[in-house]
Amino acid sequence: MAFVVAKFGGTSVASPERIQMVARRLIASKQAGNQVVAVVSAMGKTTDELVGLAKALNEDPPAREMDMLLSTGEQVSMSLLAMAIQARGYKAKSFTGWQAGITTDRNYSRAKIEDIDADRIKREVERGAIVIVAGFQGLTEDGDITTLGRGGSDTTAVALAYGLGADVCEIYSDVDGVYTADPRVCPRAKKLDEICYDDMLELSSAGAGVLQARAVEFAKKYNVVIHSRSAFTDTPGTLIKEVTSMEQAVISGVAHDTSEVKVTIRDLKDQYGIASTVFSALAGNMVNVDMIIQNVSEEGHTDLTFTCPESDLERACETVERVLPQIGAREYVVDKNIAKVSLVGTGMKSSPGVAARAFTALAENQVNILLISTSPIRLSIVVEASQCANAVRCLHTAFDLDSDQVFEETQLSAEEIAAKMNKGR
């Protein structure tokens, strides 16, 4: 018997049939003796439809009203789920974010949870109800509805698990856990039984779509155990928690990310203040810069390269164009055809030679490295997009991650792959 918070994303509640599946699953957990709180996202395409309506009335919809509008999505799915559970003879009650005591700051559309008062939810759970809470939303101190932005429902679930003192926060999705690499790219990838918060954070940031980095960060801070598992099977998934085993694998996994682009500013003056000028301007224009590389200069001139999400490219180009004269640079070039491949593992810190082993493996497989960047527990390289799969596979093999079983690609349908790629709410 345990206290479980279970989060289901938009695809898991996309239709009445899927809502029935979730209802059955929650009831099974209740029957097994657990205390159960569920967190749900909006049904499938609801959010897109609401955004469409808003844009028809206001090209630049005001954020407060947009949050008011979008927060209805979860209110619909949560009440439907409560009805489905009641139809099967079990007690269920749904609560909006504000009813669940979730207080946020005033940053509409990307609010941060500031406080959680889970007393009401706790009371209902103790009375025997399966409680359903709307993910992705909260209330400001002034009584205005907010939404939490990307990964918001995962964060709601982790925050509630903390506020309720739950034993585990189950996050259900289309995939059955965290893999050592994306099985679609690396058929010998294997599912991890557990992974520590830091490695999961690095994997999420490096492109693994299974969990939102933000929720993992929250879980780490408050020591909430996450169980990432499939909404469609009963097999156990991956536990994300503080791993205390003495001997950890050097490398937890290999992530890849093809959503970034590379911008190189050519022939700029190598003098102090240049980098500051460039990156202050980029930050001011809301460009999320990822990697930054500058080589040693030749004759007082150098090249400066950075990567950023392709969605920020237009703003990045505008910015660079504008600062070119100030930094005395000649030109800049954009390369969209890249992939970032990252080796992640807390064990890296205590294992010298990881970089050498990685570069040797890549060289033996004719993978040309364009950029390199490291953190204490991550080694990222940028390669040509066409060499991405090759790089992932040879690193996976080189660090003894290969499974004995070959992953069958047919296990994931086209729809599931699309859903997996879509890092939604």
Which residue ranges make up the site for its own copies (CB under 8 A)?
Answer: 16, 19-20, 50, 53-54, 56-59, 61-62, 64-66, 68-69, 71-72, 75-76, 78-80, 82-84, 86-87, 92-94, 96, 99, 120, 143-145
* Helix, strand, coil % over all residues of the chain, rounded to 5: 40, 25, 35
Nearer of residues 76 and 317 to its own copies, judged by Cβ: 76
Q: Helix 63-87 to helix 16-31 angle, to the nearest 10 degrees?
A: 60
Minimum separation from the CB atom of position 211 to its own copies (A) = 28
How do strand 226-230 and strand 168-173 relate by DSSP bridges?
parallel
Nearest to 416 by CA among 155, 183, 72: 183
Minimum separation from the CB atom of position 190 to its own copies (A) = 38
Nearest to 38 by CA among 87, 89, 1, 74: 74
E strand or H helix at 268, and its extent?
A: strand 260-269
Minimum separation from the CB atom of position 134 to its own copies (A) = 10
Pairwise CA distance, residues 196 & 190, whole Å:
16
Minimum separation from the CB atom of position 160 to its own copies (A) = 17
Pairwise CA distance, residues 63 & 147, whole Å:
10
Cα dihedral sign, 175-177-182-186: negative
Nearest to 76 by CA among 48, 39, 42, 45: 42
Minimum separation from the CB atom of position 143 to its own copies (A) = 6
Nearer of residues 101 and 149 to its own copies, judged by Cβ: 101
Minimum separation from the CB atom of position 20 to its own copies (A) = 7
Nearest to 97 by CA among 85, 111, 86: 111
Nearer of residues 156 and 248 to its own copies, judged by Cβ: 156
Structure-token pair, residue 224: 């909430």
Pairwise CA distance, residues 285 & 382, whole Å:
24
Nearer of residues 93 and 420 to its own copies, judged by Cβ: 93
Do the beta carbons of residue 342 and residue 378 sit within 8 Å?
yes
Distance of CA 325 to the CA centre of its chain: 38
Pairwise CA distance, residues 13 & 22, whole Å:
7
Nearer of residues 96 and 153 to its own copies, judged by Cβ: 96
3-state secondary structure (DSSP) of residue 387? helix
Nearer of residues 94 and 319 to its own copies, judged by Cβ: 94
Query: Interior CA angle at 26 toward 21 and 27, to 5°?
Result: 95
Minimum separation from the CB atom of position 123 to its own copies (A) = 11
Pairwise CA distance, residues 215 & 421, whole Å:
17
Minimum separation from the CB atom of position 88 to its own copies (A) = 9
Minimum separation from the CB atom of position 16 to its own copies (A) = 4
Nearer of residues 117 and 321 to its own copies, judged by Cβ: 117
Nearer of residues 86 and 103 to its own copies, judged by Cβ: 86
Minimum separation from the CB atom of position 82 to its own copies (A) = 5
Pairwise CA distance, residues 133 & 165, whole Å:
16
Nearer of residues 123 and 322 to its own copies, judged by Cβ: 123
Minimum separation from the CB atom of position 296 to its own copies (A) = 53
Distance of CA 212 to the CA centre of its chain: 2
Pairwise CA distance, residues 41 & 151, whole Å:
10
Give burial (CB, 10 Å; 0-12/13-18/19+) of 59: exposed
Nearer of residues 66 and 171 to its own copies, judged by Cβ: 66
Nearer of residues 144 and 335 to its own copies, judged by Cβ: 144
